[in-house]
Structure 1
Amino acid sequence: MNEQGMSQNGWIESPERNADGSSLTALDVKITDLFPGVTVRKDLVNKVKGNALVPSYVLEFLLSAYATNTDQASIESGVDRVRAILANNYVHREEANLIQSKIREKGSHRIIDRVQVALNEKTDLYEATFSNLGISQVIVDPSLVKAYPKLLVTGIWCMCQIGYAYSGDPREVPWQLLQLKPVQMSRDDRENYMQQRSQFTDSEWIDLLMQSIGFNPDLFSERAKLLHLVRMVPFVERNYNLVELGPKGTGKSHIYSEFSPHGMLISGGEVTVAKLFVNNSNGHLGLVGYWDTVAFDEFAGKAKKAGRDLVDIMKNYMANKSFSRGVETFQGEASMVFVGNTSHNVPYMLKNSDLFEELPNQYHDPAFLDRVHFYLPGWEFEQIRSEMFTSGFGFVVDYLAEILHNLRDVDYSDRFEKSFELSSTLSTRDKDGIKKTFSGLMKLIYPDGNATSEQMEPLLRCAIEGRKRVKDQLCRIDSTMEEVEFTYKRVSDGEVVAVQTLEELDYPQLYWRGRVAENSEDEGEAESSVAGDAAAIAGNEGEACAPEHAINALPVARQQETATMTPVERLAAKADGKQRELVENQRGITYFGLFGPYLAGAKKVVIEDAYVRKPYQLRNLAEFLEMLLRCKNTDEDVAVHLVTGHNEPEFVDAQLNGLNELASTFSQLGVNLTYEFRDTLHDRSITSDTGWEILPGRGLDIFQKFVDGDWLNPLLRHQQLRRVKECKVTYRRISEK
C-alpha cells in the first residue's frame, strides 16, 4: 500500500489474505480472475530457485503449471512440486556424472538442461550438446530442428527425456533423445489478452506489467514505471535500437537475460561478425537472424576494442535492417540493446564530455550513435533493493514474452498523427526514433492500438525525450550536426509544446555548455551556476542567497540594485506570478525556490492542505516552516495557520503530537503555528498577506518517496537533491481573484 492507504492504481487494498497472513490485493484478485493459468506469484521464483542457475522464465514455466492458484495451501503444494522437479531433473554441472549414471541404470531419465544442436556434415545428422549434462553428439530428429530453429544458434532450455542404449560399437553414441519440449509457451493468446486489457484502468495495467517483471509498483513513480516499460520496447518492436548507460546495480541487463526466451544477452566484448550476423564459411545466420532482442552487456568501457568491420556492418544493420558480408544480403528483425556502466555523474559528463563518454572509441561515432532510437537515462533508476520486489501476481514472463513477440507484427507508429504534429525541423532518423518508441509503448500499454489523445501524449513526450537525449549529445560530438526543435503541436488547439530532458532542466548551464540556458535570467547567474555555488544546486533561488562573487558577476545596474536590498527584498523582487510546471523525476526543486519569493516578509500565512497527517507529511510541514525562517525578517514574527484533515483514526494521535511539537519548537524561533481541522477540505492553497495566493497542485507533497529514516541520506537534508512528482504550481495576486 502507498502512503494514502491505497495502491497507486486507485484500488482500495482488499482484506483478503493468504493462509500465511500476506495480503492479497484487489489488483492481484483481478489479475488471477481474468488471466487464469498464465499468472504466478512473483516472489515464488526466489523460493524455488535455490542454487539452480536457471533463468526465471524456466522457473515460472514450471510454477505456472503447479502453483498458479491464489490459495496458499495450493501454492505451497505447487512450490514443493516444482522444488522436487528441480531437485530430480535439473542438471547441476558438478552432478553430471551422477545423472549420467542414473540414466544408464534406469534406461531413461527426464532432465532440464540447455540444449544446442549442430549439423554434422560428415554424417549428415543433427547432433545435440547438453550444456550441464556434459554429453554431446546426441542424434536429433530433423523435425525438432525445423520446429525449434533456435536450437541451432545458442541453444534453448528444454525438458528432455534422455535414454541410454549401449550397442557395443564404440563408434556409436549410446545417448538417445527420446523427447524434447522447450520451456516456452508457443500459443498466441493475443485476442484474449486484448479483450481482458479492457477490464483494467491504465494505471492498473501498468502496475500489472511492473509486477510481471518482478517489481512492486507502489515504490515507483509514474515516470519510473514508464522508463521501466521502455526497457521492454525492444521485445515488442522490430529493429529497435536502445542505449542505457548509468550507475551499477540498477538492473540494466536483468530484463534481457531473465525476461524472455526471445532475448539474448551477450558480453559486449565476446561477439564476432560471424556470431552476430552471418558465418561466411557455412552460411549460417547469426544471432540477429533468430532472436527478437540482442543485448550487449557491459558495453561501456573506453579500453574495449571492436573491429571496424563489426562496427560498419552493425551501423548498416541498425539503419537498414539488413546486412551483408560480400556474399549476399540478409534481412534481420532483432532489436539491438547496449547497456553499460558510467564512471561519472551526469553534471561531470555534461561539463567535461558528453553522456556517451563511456562508450568504446569505435562506437563513440556520430554515424553509429545517430542510429540509436532512444537513450534511456540509467541514472534515473534506483539501485535495486530487496523491498522493491513484489510478492503480488503477474504474468508468467514467458506468456507475456510470447504476446509481445506476436505484437511485433503490428505497427502503431502513426496513431498519434491525428492529434499531434511533430516539428518539421526533425530529421528522418529523429522521427523514426520517436515513432518506434511511441509504437512500442502503445503496444505495451494499449495493445489494441486504441487510445485517446490524452492517453497518447505522455507516451509521445517520452519518445521525443529519449531521441532528444541522443541528438543533443550528437550535437556536442559533431559540430556539423544541425540542431532541431524537439517540439510537437496539438492539433486540437494549435499549441506548440517543447520537450526537454531532465538533465536539461536539472543542469541547464551545463547541458547547454557554452551558451546561456534559455531560462537563465542573465549570464551572471549562468556563470555562477557553472562555478558550482549554491545557485547551481538551488536553481531559481540562487540570487537570494548568492555569495559575493555571484553578485559581482551581475551587470553593473543589477549590482547596484542588489547591493542595496536585503536578502528578503531581493527574494520578493523575483516574484512574477508565473505558473510553474514540475516534471516527474526533476531535481533542483525546493520550497524556498517555489514559495520563498511570494512569502518573503510575510506576517501571516494560511495553508490549506487536507493531507498533513502522516509522519512524512509532518516532515514536509516542518521543512515549509524552516523555509519561512529564511524568508522572514529576523526581528519580526510570522503567524502560520494550517487547515487540514483529521479523519484517519490510525494517525490521529501522531498527527496531534506532531503538530503540537512543531508549534512549540517554531514559536521559539518567531514562526507561530496554529491549526484547525476540516474534513470536507479538498483544494490546496497557500495565502499570504504579501498579496499572493499560491495553488500547489499537490500541496506540500511534491517529493517522491525516499528513505527518510536514515540520517546519513543527504536527501533528508537537501530538498534540491530529491526527485519531484509531476504537478503544477500557480501564482496569482489575491486582488485578481
Structure 2
Amino acid sequence: MDSERSSVDLDKKLNEVFPGRVVRKDLTKSIKEGANVPVYVLEYLLGMYCATDDEESINEGVERVKNILAQNYVRPDEAEKVKSRIRELGQYTIIDKINVKLNEKIDIYEAEFSNLGLKGVPISPNYVKEFDKLLQGGIWCILKMNYYFDEEVRNSNPFSISNLKPIQMPNMDINEIFDGRESFTKEEWIDVLIRSTGMECTQLDNSVKWHLLERLVPLVENNYNVCELGPRGTGKSHIYKEISPNSILVSGGQTTVANLFYNMSSRKIGLVGLWDAVVFDEVAGIKFKDKDGIQMMKDYMASGSFARGKEEKTASASMVFEGNINQSLDSLIKTSHLFAPFPEEMANDSAFFDRMHFYIPGWEIPKMRPEFLTDNYGFIVDYMAEFFREMRKRSFSDAIDKYFKLGNNLNQRDVIAVRKTVSGLIKLIYPNGQFTKEDLEEILKYALVGRRRVKEQLKKIGGMEFYDVHFSYIDKEKMNEEFVSVPEQGGGKLIPEGFGKSGHVYVVGHSASGMIGVFKLENQVVSGSGKFEKSGVGSNRDVKESLDTAFRYFTSNSKSISSSISTKTKDYLMHISDLQGIGVTDEIAIAELIGLCSGALEKPVQESLAVLGNMTVGGTISKIEDFANCLQVCVDAGAKRVLIPASSVADFQTVPSDLLIKVQPIFYSDPIDAVFKALGVN
C-alpha cells in the first residue's frame, strides 16, 4: 500500500516539475502493441495530447494519437499508396523520419524520407536553421506534403514540404533537468529514470536498479565499453533498441571495418561516428569480414581513435557487448571464465577484454514479466535521450579525487575504467553535480566491483599479468582502506575441501595449447591379471605415454612403497577428466603414480591437494614451466596444499607474497617421496 501511495506522489511531483515532459507508460504499452513506430515517436505524441493526470483528457488524447498514427504514419510497405494519395489530393499530412543534406552543386537543402523512400525533396533553410538535428542523422516529423508537376521545369522534384513539425525533441534546455532534479530525492530520481525506460521500480531489488542504471551509462559517457552476459529474456537490448534514438544494434554481430569504422571508397565514417552507442546484440556471432577488424576494435576501445589508410580518425561512440550464458553460472566459473561466450578469436584475448570498463552481471537481473513493466509516469523517452546526449559534453571523472584515493592494485586501465563508470553514474543520478561524500562512495564501490569482475576473468585468461585483483579505495579523511569483492567469485571450487576417495588425485598442468588447467585422475583397483586400462585420454599419444611411464614405474617400484601392493592379481582402471575443457595435459606421470598407490593402498591423498610436476621413464623429475602461474591456478581451483618438486624452490621468488600465504607447499625430491608426502605418510 505504501509503495502505491509513493508511486502516486511521485507521479504527481513529476507532472508538476516537468509538465509536458512526462507520459504515462501504460499508454505507450497499449498503443505500441498495435503500431510499429519507435517508442520515442509514440511518446512524443502522447506527451503532446496526454500530458495530464485527468482520465477523461487522457482517453481523448489516446484516441487522437491512434487516429494520427492510423491516418498519417507512413508504413514502408504502403509508400507507393501514400505517394499516390499526395499526388491525387495535391496536399497530404504524413509522419516519417527525414534526413537533410546540403546539395552544394545547386545550393539547396534536400530531404530524404526514411519510409516513404523519396530523395532530393527541397526543404526550406528556415527549418534547417531551427531544427539542426535534421542534418545530424534526421528526425521524425509531421509534414504537410505538396505535389505539383511542372512539365516546363526539367528534373524538378514534384514533391515539396509546405509545413514541418518535429515529433522528436528538436532541442532541449539542460537547465530544466538540473533545476528539476533538486525537487527529488536520490531514490525518487533513480525510480524516475527506471520508469522512464518502462520498468516498474517497486518490483525490483536495489542491486537490480543499479544494474539497469549501468545499462544507461554508455548513452551518457563517451567511449565507454561495457559487457553484459546473462540468461535470455532479461531485456538486455531493449534500452538501446526502443528507448534511445541515439544507439544502434548490430544484430547477430556480423559487420565490416568499413561499416563500423571508415569506408575508404566513399570516405565516410562508419557507425562509431554516427551513433552514441554501438551495440553488439549477440557476442557469440561477432565476426569481421576483414582480418584487421578485431585489432582495429581493440585500438578504438582503448583510445577512441583508429587508423584507416593514411588518416587517424576519432569518434566518441561507446561499445556495448551483449550475449547469452547458456550454461549455469557455477559451471562457467568453475570450468572457464565469464567471457567464454565470445567467439574463439576473442575468448582468450586478454588484451581485448582488458578494454572493458564494466561487466554487468546479467544473471542478477530477473527475466522480464508483465508486472515488471510500469503503468506509472516517466519522462518521454526522447526528452530523456536528449538529456543523455547533452550530458556527454560534461565529465565527472575527477569527482572521486576530493574524498578518495584508489588502492595500489589498480593499474592505469583499471583507474580509467572506474573513473568513467563513476562519471557516467553521477551524470545519471546527480546531473546537477550536487552529491555528498556518501553518495559518491556508493557509486565508487559499484564501479570497482564491475571492473574487478573484468579483472578476475583476465586473471583466468592471462595469468600472473593480471594478478592484482584486490581492488580498494582509501578515504582521504580517515585514511582507512576499504576492499571490494565480487559476489560470484566465492564458493564452488574445482578442488573440494576434505578428503576425496582413494585413487582420486587433482593435478595442474599445461595442455597442448599452452593453457594451464586442472585435471582429475580417478583410479580404481579391481581383481585381474595386472592390466592397466585408460579412459578420457582420446588419441593423444603424449598423454598415453605419460600414463604408461607412471604405471611402469609403479610396477617396478611398488615394493619400495608397500609390500602389500599387488601388481599381478589386480587390474588398474584410470579415467582422466579435463575440468576446464582446455585439452588434456601430459604432465601427469607423478600424479598418476600417486593415484595408483592411493588406490592400491586404499588410502586417500591429503585434503585439498593439487599435484605439480612430471617425471621421465627413469624417475627423473622434470622442471615446472610457468611456476607462478601454475601456483595461481592451484589457488583459484581451491587447493590448500600443493605438492611441488624440490627443484622448484628457486622459482618461489617469482611468486607474489600474498599468493604464497594461501597455500601450504609440500616439497618432494623423487617419485617415491612424492607418493609418501601426498598420502601423508612420514
Give the TM-score normalised by structure 1.
0.64
Kept in 2: contact 1:300–1:342 (CA 8 A): no
Residues in 2 aligned to 1:474 and 1:267: alpha-carbon distance in whole angstroms:
27
User: If you compute each CA radius of gyration, which structure gives the higher value, 1 or 2?
Assistant: 2
Residues in 2 aligned to 1:183 and 1:333: alpha-carbon distance in whole angstroms:
26
Residues in 2 aligned to 1:396 and 1:495: alpha-carbon distance in whole angstroms:
44
Residues in 1 aligned to 2:346 and 2:122: alpha-carbon distance in whole angstroms:
42
Deviation at 1:158, TM superposition (A): 3.0
Residues in 2 aligned to 1:323 and 1:371: alpha-carbon distance in whole angstroms:
15
1:329-340 to structure 2, matched below 5 A, reads 329-340=312-323
1:251 is matched with which residue: 235, 244, 257?
Answer: 235
Cα root mean square deviation, aligned: 3.3
1:163 is matched with which residue: 137, 141, 146?
Answer: 146
1:388 is matched with which residue: 335, 352, 372?
Answer: 372
Structure 1 range deviating more: 482-491 or 247-256? 482-491
1:500 is matched with which residue: 475, 479, 485?
Answer: 485
Three-state SS of the structure 2 residue aligned to 1:340 is strand
Amino acid at match of 1:176: S
Residues in 1 aligned to 2:428 and 2:230: alpha-carbon distance in whole angstroms:
24
Structure 1 residue aligned with 2:627: none
1:419 is matched with which residue: 403, 409, 413?
Answer: 403
Structure 2 residue aligned with 1:261: 245
Q: 1:160 to 1:294 in 2, by over 3 A?
A: farther
Residues in 1 aligned to 2:172 and 2:182: alpha-carbon distance in whole angstroms:
18
Q: 1:270 to 1:177 in 2, by over 3 A?
A: farther
Q: 1:523 to 1:493 in 2, by over 3 A?
A: farther
1:489 is matched with which residue: 469, 474, 480?
Answer: 474
Kept in 1: contact 2:91–2:145 (CA 8 A): yes
Q: 1:152 to 1:204 in 2, by over 3 A?
A: closer
Three-state SS of the structure 1 residue aligned to 2:284 is coil
**C-alpha offsets along residues 350-385 of structure 1, whole Å, 9 cap, x if unaligned?**
222211111123333222211110111111111111
Structure 2 residue aligned with 1:67: 50
Residues in 2 aligned to 1:199 and 1:217: alpha-carbon distance in whole angstroms:
19
Structure 1 residue aligned with 2:209: 225
Three-state SS of the structure 1 residue aligned to 2:367 is coil
Residues in 2 aligned to 1:363 and 1:127: alpha-carbon distance in whole angstroms:
43
Amino acid at match of 1:13: R
**C-alpha offsets along residues 93-124 of structure 1, whole Å, 9 cap, x if unaligned?**
33323212221122122211233456779878
1:507-656 to structure 2, matched below 5 A, reads 508-510=491-493
Amino acid at match of 2:455: K
Three-state SS of the structure 1 residue aligned to 2:401 is coil
1:13 is matched with which residue: 5, 9, 12?
Answer: 5
**C-alpha offsets along residues 464-514 of structure 1, whole Å, 9 cap, x if unaligned?**
111111111112112252321211223343332221122113xx344xx67
2:93 is matched with which residue: 110, 113, 116?
Answer: 110
Matched, 1:283 2:267: yes
Amino acid at match of 2:253: G
Three-state SS of the structure 2 residue aligned to 1:300 is helix
Matched, 1:318 2:296: no
Amino acid at match of 2:18: F
Structure 1 range deviating more: 209-218 or 312-321? 312-321
Residues in 2 aligned to 1:554 and 1:270: alpha-carbon distance in whole angstroms:
50
Kept in 2: contact 1:117–1:152 (CA 8 A): yes
Deviation at 1:426, TM superposition (A): 0.9
Structure 2 residue aligned with 1:475: 459
Deviation at 1:253, TM superposition (A): 0.7
Q: 1:246 to 1:265 in 2, by over 3 A?
A: same
Structure 2 residue aligned with 1:601: none
Deviation at 1:149, TM superposition (A): 7.2
Amino acid at match of 1:225: K
Deviation at 1:288, TM superposition (A): 1.9
Structure 2 residue aligned with 1:351: 334
Q: 1:524 to 1:126 in 2, by over 3 A?
A: farther
**C-alpha offsets along residues 255-280 of structure 1, whole Å, 9 cap, x if unaligned?**
01122222222325343222222222
Residues in 2 aligned to 1:523 and 1:462: alpha-carbon distance in whole angstroms:
38
Residues in 1 aligned to 2:499 and 2:288: alpha-carbon distance in whole angstroms:
42
Deviation at 1:554, TM superposition (A): 9.7
Structure 1 range deviating more: 69-78 or 171-180? 171-180
2:386 is matched with which residue: 397, 402, 414?
Answer: 402
Residues in 2 aligned to 1:153 and 1:346: alpha-carbon distance in whole angstroms:
42
Residues in 2 aligned to 1:72 and 1:94: alpha-carbon distance in whole angstroms:
35
Q: 1:163 to 1:465 in 2, by over 3 A?
A: same
**C-alpha offsets along residues 554-603 of structure 1, whole Å, 9 cap, x if unaligned?**
9689xxxxxxxxxxxxxxxxxxxxxxxxxxxxxxxxxxxxxxxxxxxxxx
Q: 1:470 to 1:100 in 2, by over 3 A?
A: same
2:34 is matched with which residue: 47, 51, 55?
Answer: 51
Q: 1:341 to 1:392 in 2, by over 3 A?
A: same
Three-state SS of the structure 2 residue aligned to 1:416 is helix
Three-state SS of the structure 2 residue aligned to 1:425 is coil
**C-alpha offsets along residues 285-309 of structure 1, whole Å, 9 cap, x if unaligned?**
222223222222223237x455332
Task: Structure 1 unaligned segments of length 5 or more: list them.
Answer: 15-23, 532-551, 558-737
Structure 1 residue aligned with 2:444: 460
Three-state SS of the structure 1 residue aligned to 2:253 is coil
Residues in 1 aligned to 2:430 and 2:262: alpha-carbon distance in whole angstroms:
36
Give the TM-score normalised by structure 2.
0.69
Residues in 1 aligned to 2:431 and 2:462: alpha-carbon distance in whole angstroms:
38
1:429-468 to structure 2, matched below 5 A, reads 429-468=413-452
% identical aligned pairs: 44
Kept in 1: contact 2:334–2:492 (CA 8 A): no
Residues in 2 aligned to 1:94 and 1:280: alpha-carbon distance in whole angstroms:
33
Structure 1 range deviating more: 242-251 or 193-202? 193-202
Q: 1:455 to 1:524 in 2, by over 3 A?
A: farther
Residues in 2 aligned to 1:85 and 1:370: alpha-carbon distance in whole angstroms:
49
Kept in 2: contact 1:185–1:402 (CA 8 A): yes
Residues in 2 aligned to 1:181 and 1:270: alpha-carbon distance in whole angstroms:
37
Three-state SS of the structure 1 residue aligned to 2:248 is strand
Residues in 2 aligned to 1:68 and 1:401: alpha-carbon distance in whole angstroms:
18
Kept in 1: contact 2:224–2:319 (CA 8 A): yes
Aligned residues: 512
